[in-house]
Structure 1
Amino acid sequence: MKAIIIDDEKRARRILRTIIEEECLEISTLFEAENLVDGVAIIKAEQPNLVFLDIEMPNHSGLQILEFFKNEVINFQIIFTTAYGHYAIEAFKLSAIDYLLKPIDVIEMKAAILKASTQIKEHFIKDKLITLERNFEQLALNKIALEVPKGIRFVSHEDILFFEADGAYTKVHLQNGKTELICKTLKHFTEQLSNKSLFYKPHRSFLINLKYMNEITKKDGLQVIMSNNKSIPIARERKEEFMHIINTVF
């Protein structure tokens, strides 16, 4: 059986290759690619039976693989390798597509390969991938992905008090009192949540959840007191717009 590992992280590819070569003798040929475009080229040229596919990669997500096989038969099985947490795992289960959580567990990998090898002759992978995409879209409707050191944490919009700029990073203040430091700029989250009326940017350094405002005070200029007692300044140029929103919404 031939297989390919598609993952932008060299270390992740090396670890998975080592496990496969030591534990999975049924895989005789193993290719590698560091992005989806190169991976698809190898798939079309070499026709592997099994694809180990990371989801979070630069330029193209692993979920976009269908875009490269629109009018072609997909005759290989996919096992997603992912750092996603609990919520995303439900998306995999509902779509009946196999996944391996990073760090990879040898026993789970063997089971996934065995399952895939029995399904290689089936031709339902496109339907499963479409279902998986829809599940992730549904997941994204009410949750936001936060790339934390141990992986990716999905957090409900309802659980976010506010975002605070910290240089090239963003502090995400949560309802449970915890704060996550994310390696994304505030602009990233502002654009991502631009169509969510719950969130408003009253100042260049803050994006707040209007649901968790406790008080508006004129002390030291106009400020919002959030439910955790944090004072958020309202920029002078945003004052009129902000008060209009308050009068309209509340």
Structure 2
Amino acid sequence: MEQLRRLWPELKLVAECEDGASALEQLAETQPDIAFLDIRMPGISGIEVARSLSELSPRTQVVFVTAYDQYAIDAFEQGAMDYLLKPVSDERLLATRERILSRLPSTRQDDAVLERLLQRLGPSQGAAERPPLAWITASNGRETQLIMLEDVAYFRADNKYTTVVTAAGESLLRTPLRELLEVLDPQHFRQIHRSTIVNMKAVAAVSRDDTGRGVLRLRGRTETLVVSQPFMSLFRGM
């Protein structure tokens, strides 16, 4: 909690709990905007607490904090805003803070604390906008994986599926590229070809081949990606 207070001094702490039962009591009483839940708590687990929130405190956003990554799928199924693995770095916690700020509803702007938080969003991020995805679920054989979008290098259309490419390998999505474009953060993910969406953070360099086509070289990867002519304007000045 000291790390959270240091990185987010505007945040008002309303309760700290040692076990799941007291967490449920405090959530019902205080109705907080955000709950940071440890998954392994004495008695009632953090996952079970989150399942009860739809009745106890439906407006509360949940961030799970744990030392165990095997609970990620369960956390995602409970609608978790984020999933933090201990030890949590300052950079990772700051990213969670920004994600929370983008989800705080505007209907409570009369609260002084929330007004200060919402000012950080800037005028371009209206409260009515749907926040970009943070996680996706994809298949790899019989295994369902939870993939953080910041780890994705690119998406590639593959017949009726979409292939998700990360440093860890490739997985399959049933979501077509056109639907992904509607929910991905446009500041980070751009379409460069009718069959490819790239994470701009993964781009190391752009050039043209002998035929004049645009070619992207990616950080830490050997393959290159072709850029269709209509999308070359994205890379002017690089």
Larger radius of gyration: 1
Give the structure-1-normalised TM-score: 0.44
